[in-house]
Chain A
Amino acid sequence: MESVAEKVESGSSDDGEIHDSETLQFITFRVGEEEYGVDIMSVLEIKGWSETTRLPNSPEYMKGVINLRGVIVPIFDLRLRFSMGDTEVTKTHVVVIVSIEGRDVGILVDAVSDILTIYEHDIRPIPDVDESSRSEFLKGLVTVNERMVSLLDIEKLFHVGELENIEGIE
């Protein structure tokens, strides 16, 4: 498979479409062996893990809330959200604060890897057959340096409706 990132950097193109396509930027991060990306425009800041205050009767992936300069921000464990097991948090873990529809929430990830610039048309759709429910929270897939990066649809992942449904999940 060809590397999209390299293509963008070199500016070369064997595909006429590229010129009509917008470039998009994603911040990518690692959760276990997998790599995810979120739209850079929705990222407010990236900070180290700090102890949270657990909220009672919340789903397990809801790690609790932290004080972000006087604002109470909930932190979600992406690993747990995708049912990949609990994150054993250490000081090296990273929280990506994103803004979704006016709400600020934090996503707990293992490490932030890169900023990715890609063309919109390089985003591949999610294959129809997918065994996990994860796929509905993904915008698409891109390939960078022969690695697959799943682009998160954070609006869907932490949609207001989703937050409201949490009580039903417990």
Chain B
Amino acid sequence: MTDMDQFKRTYFEECGELLGDVESTLSEMRDAGATADGLNAVFRGVHTIKGGGGAFGFEDLVTFAHGYETLLDMLRDGRVDCTTEIVDLLLRANDIVAGLVGAAESGESLGEDYGADIKSKIEAAISGDAPSDAAASQVDVPQNASSADDGGIKTYIVEFIPNLDLLQNASEPLLLIRQLGSLGEIVSEVIADKVPSLDELNPEEVFLTWRFILKSDCSEEEIREVFEFVEDDCVLKISVDSEVVPEAAEDSEPEAVESTPAADVEPKVAQVKTAPPAGQAPTKAPAVSSMRVDLDKVDRMVNMVGELVITQAMIQEQLRNSTVEMSAELERGLEDLTHHTRELQESVMAIRAQPVKSVFARMPRLVRELSETLEKEVKIVTSGEDTEVDKTVVEQLGDPLMHMIRNSVDHGIEMPDDREAAGKPREGTVHLSAEHRSGRIVISIQDDGAGINRERVLGKAREKGLIGKNDVLSDEEIDNLIFHPGFSTAQTVSNVSGRGVGMDVVKQNIRNMGGRINIDNEPGQGTKFSLSLPLTLAVLDGMVIGVGEEIYILPLTNIIETLRPVEKDVNALVGCFDVLSIRGEYVPILYVRDVFGIKNAKQDITKSLVVLVETEDSKKIGLVVDEMLGQSQVVIKSLEANYQAIHGVSGATILGSGRVALILDVIGLSDLIGSQSDQKNLEKLVVTKSKSNDDIVAEDRTQVV
């Protein structure tokens, strides 16, 4: 990879972040009104994107961003009023910038007129009010001179000594000078004694330094703020001069520096030859609150900590099993080690944890685009975007969420007129929220649309042969049909959704992450999808279970309860599988020893344990195992990296003994039951027995968990 590619990659990464920040700032402004800070933040973001874009020669991006930036600048100055329409326009403009950045990254062309309508709206907004863009850019540096005769006016001497590489960081001295000029009356001097001869001159480096005499009532802080962005790229000296030092070169044209630095500046060199004393008055370094680290490095650390956890468990186990008596010191040391390892692991996982904001921030744009295409009025409200979850989860969350939002806007929210007729506000709302709940992250997507039309879903399912003609399904079962592969209820197939891919893929994605998805459907009122996901895909809290000589890990989140069955509760269903009656419910049971072909396992079910586990759709199955060995946090390892996926096994881990144990995949296992018999029979089986039997049955059971 060349340096240039490296820079580009960093630039695009940065753009992604900036766009997200701008987006959320604008969204806030849309709801709470514009603030100077907000506008400044947006301006800075757009400016940085434009600057980088210019450095890499992304013409379209720069042209568009320039207009956008001009409008923002005028908003900051109050030359254009910041109305809701304008904020909406800014949001749309931001989408276009995002599109252009995306196009620049992938190298594809979006066509000449991409964003042209927005661009013309921006131009209209600019020219509609105060001075035109052209006029604005011609504003002279000492423009505000007239208003400078107030009391409290101080004379500042500002020395601006840029580092050689200032331009490479996409900072433009002219803009800074102009901004400085807006603070008061300014006289600028250019010190060009460091400019080398033409053949030595590198046009990408800055050899000029500036000295300004600024008469203004502003504070030193405000001057520093002007140079905020270049703080690290220059030396800035500000002093207050009591006596006025006038007459120096005016009308300097630093803007020419970029192209032909030497030529234009030459005449003034003689006049001001005050070489700045070097190495003095360093600018205050900004407090470092975050740093960028290569993800590979973090991953390596996560892996190593995983190994450490295993090694620690191993040492502990070895010592416990050894005949050597442990001294108190050793015991304490071991305890400390356990404690520290756990803490280390948590902190490392915390490094990888990210707020879901990065994913959530992409959704408003999607909703805007969708509602425009579909001619609906939809707003999106997000909450809990600071909820943190492991980076791997965040990464894999994007696609499913996008599908679901698309689904909500397309299928959930009705047309504005229909909504009005139904007594709802014309504008539909999609509420996207995230929260931590019992060691998992729960993300819900709630719309106030029409809800799932069960009649239509049922009809469609019959028509497509997904269910039998005379099958009777519960409401919940009907709702869940939308996750069926090849199912789509859209009356017309739009290009937004309704191609029959989507919800089943969503379910698959969520499943692969060890998550569950739930639908809460209230016809006429809306639909709520809840995703429950593990906080990390790297570690898992599991129950260690034994079957024969094998040891397996069962994810704790799947387990409902464990019980020792009595003989009369276990019934064979001819030709299918055994069922266990639990509090009036018949639950299919699966003998782990049989499906995994384990020898030496207990054959007598009354001596075995049944672990009742729950799959998604709240289906329950009982797993018959020999014993429970305890609870443990395990590091998840992939089987697929060197081998292949195994049905009923989601991964592997390494036990304290150094041996490998497989992690059971409850959903995969429940499919194994399904394959043994007709799936539909299974669903019918979960019949509720009469309540009177309950108490008798419950008494016979020893509850372990």
Contacts and interface: CB of A to CB of B under 8 A. Distances in A.
A57 B638 contact: no
A41 B108 CA distance: 42
B646 A56 contact: yes
Contact of A103 (B310, B637, B641): B641
Contacts, number: 71
B662 A55 contact: yes
A72 interface: yes
B581 to A, nearest CB: 28
Contact of A70 (B303, B596, B597, B659): B303
A72 B306 CA distance: 13
A58 interface: yes
Contacts of A54: 550
Contact of A72 (B307, B595, B643, B647): B643
A166 interface: yes
A41 B310 CA distance: 31
Nearest to A103: B642
- Sorting the interface of chain B by its residue count into under 10, 10 to 19, 20 to 34 or 35 or more gives 20 to 34
A71 B646 CA distance: 17
A65 B660 contact: yes
B62 to A, nearest CB: 42
B661 interface: yes
Contacts of A45: none
Interface string B304-341: 00110010000000000000000000000000000000
A55 B659 contact: no
A74 B310 contact: no
A73 interface: yes
B641 A57 contact: no
Given A56-B649, A57-B597, A65-B652, A74 B642 contact: yes
Interface in A66-104: 66-67, 69-74, 103-104
Nearest to A170: B597
Contact of A51 (B649, B652, B659, B662): B659
A66 B596 contact: no
A164 B642 CA distance: 12
Contacts of B53: none
A63 to B, nearest CB: 12
B660 A163 contact: no
B468 interface: no
Contact of B637 (A51, A71, A74): A71
B257 interface: no
Most buried by B among A57, A58, A103: A57
B558 to A, nearest CB: 18
Interface in A26-77: 51-58, 64-67, 69-74
A140 B517 CA distance: 54
Contact of A56 (B303, B596, B637, B654): B596
Contacts of B550: 53-54
A53 B659 contact: yes
A118 interface: no
A72 B641 contact: yes
B470 interface: no
B276 interface: no
Contacts of B646: 55-58
A65 B595 contact: no
- Among A51, A55, A72, chain B packs the most CB atoms within 10 A around the CB of A72
A52 B598 CA distance: 14
Nearest to B551: A53
B169 to A, nearest CB: 39
B639 interface: yes
B570 to A, nearest CB: 23
Contact of A104 (B595, B597, B642, B662): B642
A94 to B, nearest CB: 19
A56 B648 contact: yes
Interface string B573-587: 000000000000000
Contacts of A151: none
Contacts of B643: 55, 65, 72, 74, 103, 105, 163
A59 to B, nearest CB: 11
Interface in B552-602: 595-598
A72 B652 contact: yes
Top-7 shortest CB links A-B? A56-B596, A53-B660, A74-B643, A70-B307, A103-B642, A67-B654, A72-B637
Interface of B: 303, 306-307, 310, 550, 595-598, 637-639, 641-644, 646-649, 652, 654, 658-662
Given A72-B637, A72-B654, 12 more contacts: A53-B662, A56-B646, A56-B649, A56-B662, A65-B643, A70-B306, A72-B641, A72-B643, A72-B652, A73-B642, A103-B642, A105-B642
26 contacts: A51-B659, A52-B660, A53-B652, A53-B661, A53-B662, A55-B639, A55-B662, A56-B595, A56-B596, A56-B598, A56-B646, A57-B647, A65-B639, A66-B660, A70-B303, A70-B306, A70-B307, A71-B642, A72-B652, A72-B654, A73-B642, A74-B643, A103-B641, A103-B642, A163-B643, A164-B644
